[in-house]
Amino acid sequence: MRLGIKNNSNLTLLLLLIGFWIINLIQSTFTPLHYDEAYYWMFSQFPDWGYFDHPPMTSLFIHLGNLISNNELGVRFFISIFQPLYLFIFWLLIKRDDFTQKDALMYFLITASIPLLEINGFIATPDVPLMLFSVIFLGCFEKYRSTNSYLWSILTGISMALLAYSKYHGAIVVICALAANLSLLKRPKTYLAAFIAILFLMPHFMWQYKNDFVSFKYHLSDRNKSFKASYFFEYIGNVWVTLNPFLFPVFLSSLIGNRTKNPFEKTIKAVTIGFLLFFALSSVRGHVQPQWILPASLGVTFWILLACKRTTKKNKYVLKASLFSILLIAFIRLNLIFNWISIPAMGFDNQKDMLAIQAIAKNNPVIMKSSYSRAALYDFYTDSQANSQQEWSHRSSQYQIWDIDSKWYNQPVIIEVAQSDSSITLPSGKVFSYIKNEHYIPTHKLEAEWNNPIHKLNNDSMIIIESTIRNPYPFEITLGEKTNELEVDLVIHRKKQITEIIPLVDREIILPAKGEVQLLYEWNPKDNLHGDYELSYWIKNKPMEAWWANKDTYKITFEN
């Protein structure tokens, strides 16, 4: 048998994917960084076993890309290789004996017409390594299921660890695969695979322990918000649009109508449904970002392809819908390069804004207000120093773990503020208000602690709260607004709503370098406090907004 392109579906698909990868490389070179990409690029400047938001896999490959080039292509180069690689491996996994060259072409067209897959072909996000190692895990898992060998058990364990190092959502892939194959729980080698995964993940667990399990706390607790029906309907809309609104009904009908007994196809179905249902449930506690469901696109592609195999009518419809979708997506992708229609919400067109800020900052470092992404963009596009100063009402970020601003002590810095007499209108139309602080004092590493916390209180008497504040910096800090407008206040709050702010009794305290001092607060609780509240400390380093000075809040209950 000749293996020419005319009769070899694998070669046909491989050539198409290589061609598409070249297009993605061009797109990667000329499309400005998305603000999330800049944040991940910043990770790569500080290689580590973990970060506040994510495991380290994306940072590793961006770091390797930086060795090739220091521009957008360097950030995206290795990540861009992953898409043609995982799409080709997945094809090999799902390919049936009756699949032909036409099926390979249809598979390619379907994947090229799914917006979620398209955009993740040329931008650097943790979801792309997650896709590669999801496919590798599924392949190893199926081999282990069918052979029960030690080799595939070990390889399955390694692939599980690679999933976790890519993104924590990899756990959904593993859980759903096991749920579709519960009999594997009876095999001792299944637990060997789990042991191998844990063993390979020990460096990351050690990083989490060293950093007070900050990632787990953030994802499992801090992201929770009050229920809003809009989150759920927003999620449904995002699923419909990002998985191609013209093809999604075909996927649903094929998924429901195809009751396969093939174990591997049952695994794919479990992973696909598992992702869609998990994030549907997650939407009741907060916003779900569209890219989080990316692994479900594998199953979507597969079941649409099966629908094309079953009926000529659906085959023709999918062909037309895919070609039309590819044209629409091509226009959007070209717009990211040439910016015919400015769409600031997409988060790509930031370079001019950063250069405009640099023009007024000159050689001084810049502290961005509540924006880790803009701090990273500024660093990338100007090759200048920036930091993010989070506010108490906003979420934390990796910038609160890093110690970037310590070297700026007593130096002039530009600080972005809410309002100021000094401001410029950026090319995007946004206003950048700022002040110049001639003698900057970094403070976000200060930590305050309640020495003898009381968890149950009555609001009918004065309470004396004795606390300790620690200074890890190699310079002394003066607390008190008469000197440098730096305060450490005690804050009573409930569900992020501030109830009371209690200032220090002593308004001027010298905090020695790498030392600690005792703080005293006098608090007469308001009569209207009933039930459960939280007590925290925050730092006010004016003109910047307040930021929390303790890792964990103290739970208090008012009894009447």
Whether residue 483 has pLDDT greater than 60: no
Give the residue from 381, 413, 437 where a domain finishes.
437
Residues 355 and 333 in one domain: no
pLDDT digits (tens, 9 = 90+) for 224-239: 666 678 899 999 999 9
The whole-angstrom separation of Cα 301 and Cα 255 is 11
Residues 387 and 315 in one domain: no
- Structural domain of 532: 447-558
Per the domain annotation, does 553 fall within a domain?
A: yes
Q: Among 275-279, 280-284, 293-297, 496-500, which stretch is predicted with the lowest mean pLDDT?
A: 496-500
Choice among 72-86, 157-171, 378-392, 537-551 with the minimum mean pLDDT: 537-551
The more confidently predicted of residues 118 and 3 is: 118
- Split at pLDDT 50, 70, 90, the class of 347 is confident
pLDDT of residue 336: 86
Exposed e or buried b per residue across 153-189, where buried means at least 16 C-beta atoms within 10 angstroms of its C-beta:
bbbbbbbbbbbbbbbbbbebbbebbbebbeebeeeeb
Yes or no: say if 169 and 128 are a contact pair by the CB < 8 Å rule. Answer: no
51 inside domain: yes
pLDDT at residue number 222: 67
The 10s digit of each residue's pLDDT in 261-287 is 799 999 999 999 999 999 999 988 888
**Coil, helix or strand at residue 329:** helix
Q: Quick check: is 59 in a domain?
A: yes
Based on the domain organization, do 385 and 473 belong to the same domain? Answer: no
Segment of 152-156, 359-363, 409-413 carrying the highest mean pLDDT: 152-156
In a domain, 220, yes or no: no
414, burial (CB in 10 Å: exposed 0-12, middle 13-18, buried 19+): buried
424, pLDDT greater than 50: yes
Cα(103)–Cα(94) distance, rounded to whole angstroms? 12
- Cα gap 20→97, rounded to integer Å: 26
Do 333 and 420 sit in the same domain of this protein? no
**Residues 263 and 408 grouped into a single domain:** no
Residue 18 domain-assigned (yes or no): yes
Distance CA 328, CA 268 (A): 29
Radius of gyration of the chain (CA): 27
Q: Which of 437, 471, 506 is the last residue of a domain?
A: 437
181 plus 286 within the same structural domain: yes
Tokens coding 363: 């050689």
Q: What pLDDT score does 337 carry?
A: 84
Asked if pLDDT for residue 482 goes beyond 70, the answer is no
- Residues 307-317 have a mean pLDDT of 93
Give the per-residue pLDDT at 225. Answer: 67
Q: Are strands 366-369 and 413-416 parallel, antiparallel or unpaired?
A: parallel
Can you tell me the distance from the alpha carbon of 455 to that of 306, in angstroms, rounded to the nearest whole number?
Answer: 60
User: Please, what is the average pLDDT of the chain?
Assistant: 90
Domain count for the chain, please give it.
3
Please indicate, yes or no, whether residues 454 and 401 belong to a single structural domain of this protein.
no
Q: Which residues contact 462 (CB under 8 A, 6 or more apart)?
A: 522, 523, 524
Are residue 175 and residue 292 in the same domain, yes or no?
Answer: yes
The reported pTM is 0.92
Find the mean pLDDT for residues 449-469.
85
Domain holding 466: CATH number? 2.60.40.10
